[in-house]
Amino acid sequence: MALLDFLQPKNSESGIKNPGEHLMTLADVVAPSAINITPRSISISGVSTRVYYAVSYPRYLNDGWMEPVLNLPRELDVSIFVHPIDTVETLKKFQKKVAEVQSQINMKAEKGMVRDPQLEAAYRNLEELRDKLQQAEEKLFNVGFYLAVYGKDEEELNKAENDIRSILDSRMIAMKPALFQQEQGIRSIFPLAGDELLVHSKFNSEPLSSFFPFTSFDLTSDNGILYGINRHNSSLVLFDRFSLTNYNSVTFATSGAGKSYTLKLEILRSLMFGTEVIVLDPEREYEYLAEATGGRFFNISLSSKNHVNPFDLPPPAEDEDPRDVLRTHIIEMVGLFRLMLGGLSAEEETIVDLAIQETYALKDITGDADFTKLEPPLLADFEMVLAGMEGSTSLISRLQKYTAGTWAGFMNKPTNVDINQKFVVFSLRDMEDELKTIAMYIITNFIWGSVRRRMAKRLMVIDEAWWMMKSEDTASFLFSLAKRGRKYYLGIATITQDVDDFLRSPYGVPMITNSSIQLLMKQSPTAIDNIQQTFNLTDEEKLLLLESSVGEGIFFAGLKHVAIKIIASYTEDQIITSDPSQLIQIKQARAELRASRV
Query: Can you give the pLDDT at residue 6?
Result: 44
**How many whole angstroms separate alpha carbon 40 and alpha carbon 17?**
38
- Contact status, residue 256 vs residue 550, Cβ threshold 8 Å: yes
State the average pLDDT over residues 555-584. 84
State the average pLDDT over residues 379-385. 90
When pLDDT is cut at 50, 70 and 90, the band that residue 408 belongs to is confident
Model confidence at 10: pLDDT above 50 = no
State the average pLDDT over residues 149-166. 88
- Separation in Å, CA 60 to CA 68, 103, 199, 209: 17, 26, 20, 12
**How many whole angstroms separate alpha carbon 54 and alpha carbon 338?**
70
Half-sphere exposure of 486 (CA within 13 A, CB side): 15
pLDDT tens digits, residue range 317-355?
Answer: 777 788 888 888 899 899 899 988 888 898 999 999 999
When pLDDT is cut at 50, 70 and 90, the band that residue 3 belongs to is very low
Query: Can you give the pLDDT at residue 217?
Result: 55
Model confidence at 511: pLDDT above 60 = yes
Q: Output the CA angle 473-478-481, nearest 5 degrees.
A: 130
Please give the residue that has the higher pLDDT: either 575 or 580.
575
Model confidence at 49: pLDDT above 80 = yes
Tell me the pLDDT of the chain averaged across its residues: 83
Q: Output the CA angle 58-59-64, nearest 5 degrees.
A: 65
**How many whole angstroms separate alpha carbon 273 and alpha carbon 573?**
19
Please give the residue that has the higher pLDDT: either 320 or 242.
242
pLDDT tens digits, residue range 168-179?
Answer: 888 888 988 998
Query: Can you give the pLDDT at residue 19?
Result: 52
**How many whole angstroms separate alpha carbon 130 and alpha carbon 493?**
58
Query: Can you give the pLDDT at residue 9?
Result: 43
- Contact status, residue 339 vs residue 441, Cβ threshold 8 Å: yes
Query: Can you give the pLDDT at residue 4?
Result: 43
- Topology, domain 218-302+419-567: Rossmann fold (3.40.50)
Which residues have a Cβ under 8 Å from the Cβ of 125 and sit 6 or more positions away?
none
Q: Where are the domains of the chain?
A: 47-211, 218-302+419-567, 309-414, 572-598
Q: Which of 64-78, 121-135, 284-298 has the highest mean pLDDT?
A: 284-298
Query: Can you give the pLDDT at residue 11?
Result: 47
Model confidence at 16: pLDDT above 70 = no
**Exposure string for 274-301, b = 16+ CB within 10 A, e = fewer:** ebbbbbbbbeebbbbbbeebebbbbbbb
Query: Can you give the pLDDT at residue 495?
Result: 92
Q: Which of 57-66, 218-227, 233-242, 291-300 has the highest mean pLDDT?
A: 291-300
Query: Phi, psi (5° rounding) for residue 565?
Result: -125, 125
Number of C-beta neighbours around residue 386 at 10 A: 21
- Separation in Å, CA 580 to CA 256, 351, 357, 432, 587: 11, 50, 49, 23, 10
Question: Architecture of domain 309-414 in CATH?
Answer: Orthogonal Bundle (1.10)
Given this chain, do its domains 218-302+419-567 and 309-414 carry the same CATH topology?
no
Please give the residue that has the higher pLDDT: either 504 or 20.
504
Secondary structure of residue 140 in the 3-state scheme: strand
pLDDT tens digits, residue range 179-211?
Answer: 898 889 888 988 888 888 999 988 877 788 788
pLDDT above 90: percentage of residues in the chain:
16
